[in-house]
Amino acid sequence: MPDSPTSRPLIRLQRLILIAGTLIFLVKILAWYLTDSNAILTDAAESVINVLAGAFALYSLYVAARPRDHNHPYGHGKIEYLSSGLEGILILLAGTIMSGKAIYGFFVPHPITHLDQGIWLTLIGGGINGLMGAYLLRKARRHRSQILRAEGRHLLSDAWSSLGLIIGLGLITLTGLVWLDNLIAIVFGLLIGYAGLRIIRTALAGVMDEADLPLIEDITRILAAGRQPHWIDLHNLRVIRYGAATHIDCHLTLPWYLNLHDSHQAVKDVEALLARELPGRVECFIHADPCRPPSCSVCSLTGCPQRQHPFRGERVSWTVDSLQQRQQHVLPEG
């Protein structure tokens, strides 16, 4: 069963994308059969990748939606990076093979026929891919899904490739220069390969737990806006994405004299703030640190019974850089 209700619509959406991708592949194969164009074959080959990658993406969404268990205490969300990485490898492979075939076509040319029909069929397939890609990216931003992001980028890349392909085929029709077909195939084969490399790079970053700067910026903004006077400092912030779930570690500096109940409540307040403002499931591990005498100069808490230094009128600024520092950010005494 899915770990959260939000995973069900994503699975249904990916299932529809897979069906649509299969139909588009058949349309492009028909266009290639009619024209015998290497450029159109390149476009059709990328649609094969769309179908294969879409099938694995659907399976990955099912796996990522499984609840946490003893063997996977952080859930199954990391399969999203495996899915997008595999898609990137397939895209790179397709682009490389198609470029090689086009180079071969310079030495062994063949005639091209029915270009007008091929152009219309390519336009239909590329247009549908463009609409689906834009929609998937919007959903990916909303649900922070790596799988949908990779699928959306791939479909948009396919749509732009189809647009360029249509322009190139139009030039062949106007000029009669058949060798342009191979040149176009090489150019778009390289572009497809580059798109695959970008997806692989993103997947590797996720596997290596590379810092997600836009997400950290969002968390910084949320914490700064909801900051309470007794949250003296927050540091050692670390954020990891596990599919649709966000795992956050940090240290929170609180007045040293708070009892265990009050300290626990402060930690729960931070967790509730992040869970309320961030999409998907949010899991926090927050370590409470006691304040030190130098902290008084940057602590705006009024009525503190243990204050040893006056407040200087400036709290510690919470920025992306400061929150990721390992040490407390307190000003020196003086």
pLDDT for 333 beyond 50: no
**What's the whole-number mean pLDDT along residues 196-224?**
85
Q: Give the pLDDT confidence of 74-93 residue by residue, as tens digits.
A: 777 777 788 778 878 877 88
Residue 19: the pLDDT is 87
Of 62-71, 185-194, 313-322, give the range with the top mean pLDDT: 313-322
Is pLDDT at 194 greater than 80 in this prediction?
yes
What is the percent of the chain with per-residue pLDDT over 70, rounded to a whole number?
91
Q: What is the pLDDT at residue 199?
A: 81
How far, in Å, CA of 283 to CA of 249, rounded? 9
Contact 170, 120 (CB under 8 A): no
CA proximity to 66, closest of 77, 53, 51: 77
pLDDT of residue 220: 94
Residue bearing the bigger pLDDT, 187 or 65: 187
3-state helix, strand, coil in the chain (%, to 5): 65, 10, 25
Residue 315 amino acid letter: R
Task: Kindly give the pairing relationship between strand 245-254 and strand 282-290.
Answer: parallel
- Per-residue pLDDT averaged across 169-188, rounded? 78
Assigned token pair, 270: 């931070």
Between the ranges 96-100, 139-143, 287-291, 322-326, where is the mean pLDDT highest? 287-291
By mean pLDDT, which of 233-237, 265-269, 280-284 is the weakest?
A: 280-284
pLDDT the model gives residue 1: 42
Nearest in space to 106 (alpha carbons), one of 168, 188, 165, 178: 178
pLDDT digits (tens, 9 = 90+) for 9-54: 778 888 888 888 888 888 888 888 888 777 677 667 767 777 877 7
Tell how many helices (H) and how many strands (E) occur in the chain. Answer: 9, 3
* Residue 172 tokens, joined: 């062949």
CA dist., res. 220 & res. 322, Å (int): 10
Q: Would you state the structure tokens that stand for residue 254, as one six-digit string?
A: 């609180």
Tokens matching residue 56: 């694995």
CB 328 within 8 A of CB 298: no
Percentage of the chain lying above the pLDDT 90 cut: 18
Number of Cα atoms under 13 Å in the Cβ half of residue 194: 8
- What b/e sequence results for 75-96 when a residue is b if at least 16 CB atoms lie within 10 Å of its CB, and e otherwise? bbbbbbbbbbbbbbbbbbebbe
Average pLDDT over residues 215-242: 91
Contact 294, 312 (CB under 8 A): no
Overall average pLDDT of the 209-225 stretch = 88
Core vs surface per residue 98-126: b (16+ CB within 10 A) or e: bbebbeebeeeeeebeebeebbebbbebb
Longest distance between any two alpha carbons in the chain, whole Å: 90
Structure tokens at 286: 């927050």
Structure confidence at residue 2 as a pLDDT band (50, 70, 90): very low
Give residue for tokens 């992001």.
149
Q: How sure is the predictor about 188, in pLDDT bands with cuts at 50, 70 and 90?
A: confident
Angle at 52 between CA 74 and CA 16, to 5 degrees: 80
Report whether pLDDT(334) > 50. no
The CA-based dihedral angle spanning residues 65, 70, 74, 76, taken in that order and rounded to the nearest 10 degrees:
-30
Specify whether the CB–CB gap between 16 and 58 falls below 8 A: no
Confidence of residue 237 (pLDDT cuts 50, 70, 90): very high
**pLDDT value, residue 252:** 95
Q: Give me the mean pLDDT over the 231-256 stretch.
A: 88
pLDDT value for 330: 52
Average pLDDT over residues 53-67: 79
Please compute the mean of the pLDDT values over residues 179-200 and round it to a whole number: 81
| 0.85 surpassed by pTM | no
What phi-psi label fits residue 243: left (phi over 0), alpha (psi between -120 and 50 degrees) or beta? left
* Alpha carbons 301 and 204: distance in angstroms, whole number: 44
Tokens coding 72: 């996977």
pLDDT (0 to 100) of residue 33: 81
User: Please, what are the domains in the chain?
Assistant: 7-207 (1.20.1510.10), 213-323 (3.30.70.1350)
What pLDDT band is residue 6 in, cutting at 50, 70 and 90?
low
